[in-house]
Amino acid sequence: MINASITASELEALSTQDTTDYNGVKDDVESAFRDIQAAMFPKHVNPERRGIADSLKLAEEKLTGAITRLLHGEGNAEEYTAKLIAKLPEIRRLLWTDIVAAYQGDPAAKTPDEIILAYPAFTAISAYRVAHELYTMNVPLVPRIITEYAHRLTGIDIHPGATIGEYFFIDHGTGVVIGETSTIGNRVKIYQNVTIGAKSFDVAPDGSLVKGIKRHPDIGNDVVIYAGATILGGQTVIGDHCVIGGNVWLTHSVAAGRVVVNER
């Protein structure tokens, strides 16, 4: 419900008070992510055929510039960027577990190269894993720009605040939504049009939404969630080894090892 006490003009005035020049920030961040992709997978997504060091240098320059503008002098942009670059070997290792999950989980996958080049889920998960590192550092705005860039390309919406384990696979992918406070364990497989979202939002006395609280479900290890399933709520826990059938609507927890399907 709209809080009528906050008018559009008041919000516009609030935005006007922000002295940041955002022009070019989005383009620089998206370009930096492509450079990071090129550094991690230089034989696959590196159209300029740069060396790894050159790709990293470009990414570092663009990210540092963007973060500097967003921090208003209240943090060390170079330090944030350096921490991300140092994390890239671990991010790449995690992404290879996701490639393994896709290769083993999809009989249509002929080679790892096909997954890297052609699977929209790999693009979305790559963006998420890079953005998540920046999110955990409390870098403003940049993580959302990266994941929304992938969202635009793939139709897969993963908030950078979500926590996702190893060997994660989204089959087909279109329409998947994973909310900010979700946690997903290891070896989880999700099909298209799955929502892991919020059931409702707590409201403050003034009618505004309460932000920063647990709103999204926890998914255990070795879970399969089939197409069209909707799982909602910050207190909802799906136990290990569960199977959630297609088009199921869940707002309550499910014990480990259960199979949940719609009645026919």
Question: What is the reported pLDDT for 262?
Answer: 85
Residue 17 has pLDDT above 70, yes or no: no
Do 150 and 64 share a structural domain? Answer: yes
The total domain count for the chain is 2
Helices (H), the chain: 8-17, 25-40, 52-71, 77-105, 112-118, 120-136, 142-154
Do 40 and 140 share a structural domain? Answer: yes
Whichever domain contains 224, its CATH number is 2.160.10.10
Structural domain containing residue 46: 22-155
Q: Give the residue from 120, 155, 190 where a domain finishes.
A: 155
Do 134 and 72 share a structural domain? Answer: yes
Do 47 and 122 share a structural domain? Answer: yes
Q: Give the residue from 97, 125, 155 where a domain finishes.
A: 155
Contact 42, 34 (CB under 8 A): no
> Dihedral through CA 231, CA 234, CA 238, CA 244, nearest 10?
0
Q: What is the pLDDT of residues 214-235, one digit of tens each?
A: 999 999 999 999 999 999 999 9
> Dihedral through CA 26, CA 30, CA 32, CA 35, nearest 10?
-160
Give the whole-angstrom CA distance, residue 136 versus residue 185.
Answer: 18
pTM above 0.85, yes or no: yes
Do 180 and 151 share a structural domain? Answer: no
Residue 75 lies in a domain: yes
Encoded amino acid at 150, one letter: A
Residue 236 lies in a domain: yes
Question: What is the reported pLDDT for 155?
Answer: 97
Question: What is the reported pLDDT for 32?
Answer: 98
Do 143 and 197 share a structural domain? Answer: no
Residue 4 has pLDDT above 60, yes or no: no
Contact 78, 69 (CB under 8 A): no
- Which tokens is 62 given? 């663009």
Ordered strands of the 218-219 beta sheet: 163-164, 183-184, 218-219, 237-238
Question: What is the reported pLDDT for 145?
Answer: 98
- How many CB atoms within 10 Å of residue 166? 17
Do 121 and 37 share a structural domain? Answer: yes
